[in-house]
Amino acid sequence: MPAPVTRYTRVASLLHWIMAALMIFMLFFSEDLIKVPRGSSLADWGPSAHASFGILVLLLVIVRLLWRMGNPPPPDLPMSRPQQIASHAIHHSLYALMVLIPIFGLLAIVPYGEARVDVDQVTFFKLFPVAFLPNIGGWTGEVHEILGKIADGLVILHVLGALKHQFWDKDGIMQRISPL
């Protein structure tokens, strides 16, 4: 009988760390990238960078979910039932937010662009414009922002949990997700 898998696959690990870098970048810089005063142009690099990284998160989470369907994660580390519930809740919530935040961002770009100019200049890495969805209202931007704040908190909790496991519990959690 083969030994149980204790590590994530290399692909899962690489996707995790690429997405972690993107999420942390967005955590610290995304708001500054998209801040464009009313009446100003959205043609600057910031709005396109914000949209591009957001769409990239969406594309990568889809790849990650598809990979995970064919490559289940290793079993949970031994931990208390409340810790297991918290861990699963945070992970599932992060996955949901990595889908929902970019979708609401795409829905928000047209209403955001109404008070600015050149919304058609906001592109995904200069490949195609991102203002292609209908304007269903400015509330989409508010939802995008609220979900982003929730994601900020969950990313912080996720990092703190990983640090607790690594340095307090010393259970080797970082080796499980290491791409090396």
Q: Is residue 149's pLDDT more than 90?
A: yes
- The pLDDT value recorded for residue 165 is 87
In the three-class reduction of DSSP (H, G, I as helix; E, B as strand; rest coil), residue 79 is classed as coil
Q: For 68, phi and psi rounded to 5 degrees? A: -65, -30
The C-alpha atoms of residue 46 and residue 168 are separated, in whole angstroms, by: 40
pTM, 2 dp: 0.91
The 10s digit of each residue's pLDDT in 77-124 is 888 999 999 999 999 999 999 999 999 999 999 999 999 999 999 999
- The pLDDT value recorded for residue 9 is 93
Mean pLDDT of the chain: 92
Those residues with Cβ within 8 angstroms of residue 71's Cβ, 6 or more apart along the chain or in another chain:
9, 11, 12
pLDDT tier at 4, thresholds 50, 70, 90: low
Integer angstrom CA distances of residue 89 from 59, 126, 169 = 22, 36, 20
The C-alpha atoms of residue 106 and residue 120 are separated, in whole angstroms, by: 12
DSSP for 95-130, please give it.
Answer: HHHHHHHHHHHHHHHHHHHHTSB-GGG-EETTTEES
In the three-class reduction of DSSP (H, G, I as helix; E, B as strand; rest coil), residue 41 is classed as strand
pLDDT tier at 130, thresholds 50, 70, 90: very high
What sign results for the dihedral spanned by CA atoms 170, 175, 178, 180? positive
